[in-house]
Amino acid sequence: MKRRWMWLGTAALIGIIVWLIVPRQLYNLRRARALETLTARPDWQAWKEDFNQRKVAAAAIFEGATKVESFRMVPMHTHTSVKPIGRIDGFSYSAVGLTKDHDFATRLGSIVLNPQAITRSSKLCAFNPTVGLRVWKNNQSVTVIICFHCAQLMILENDPEVPINNIGGVKGRFRIGGLFDQFRPELVALAEEVFPNDPVIQSLKEIP
């Protein structure tokens, strides 16, 4: 009888391990295949070159970043009773998160300034911001606004020479904007880091 229960316990343990590991491995496989398909497109090189040109001004701020402020954004296209306490680059926020250092800016920049991480947006969904991250280099700054609902982001600049663009129904001055589906877990981890006590942010780790 004891041996039977031992085998059942072992089988149950193996089942739990498989249940925890297999979905993540399948998700990573889908990510890899999607990225491979993207980079194989005929226009990939042109897109990459254009992206690298557009990111120059923002990259300089990320490289010399002195701090990163974080903001919990108020949804724009979803009914909510949350009251804003301020605005950043035209977006309302309801709470201020942790302020991070140059290392955080480097990790954030490795994603949002990476042409392999950001792709052109073709989704017909409303941009509904979740988190805002303002990167400072002394008195210069750029703001990364992230929508985890439809996996889109934009990097807003204060330079009046930057044309007004549109993403997900929201207009702003940005050279970089698009989808980050393949790197969602990495951005979720950064959001969780600056909002460790926000239950909604902490629940974003689940695969949509």
Q: Residues 168, 179: one domain?
A: yes
Quote the domain boundaries for residue 116.
Answer: 43-205
Confidence of residue 38 (pLDDT cuts 50, 70, 90): very low
Q: Residues 32, 80: one domain?
A: no
C-alpha span between 107 and 111 (Å, rounded) = 7
Q: For 144-202, write each residue's pLDDT tens digit.
A: 999 998 899 999 998 888 889 888 788 899 999 888 988 999 999 999 999 999 999 99
DSSP state of 119: B
Selected residue with higher pLDDT from 47 and 67: 67
Q: Residues 102, 183: one domain?
A: yes
Total number of domains constituting the chain: 2
* pTM passes above 0.95: no
Q: Residues 31, 90: one domain?
A: no
Q: Residues 19, 92: one domain?
A: no
Contact 168, 123 (CB under 8 A): yes
C-alpha span between 168 and 124 (Å, rounded) = 7
Residue 85 CB contacts under 8 Å (≥ 6 apart), including other chains? 93, 94, 95, 96
Q: Residues 48, 36: one domain?
A: no
pLDDT of residue 36: 47
Q: Both tokens of residue 16?
A: 């739990």
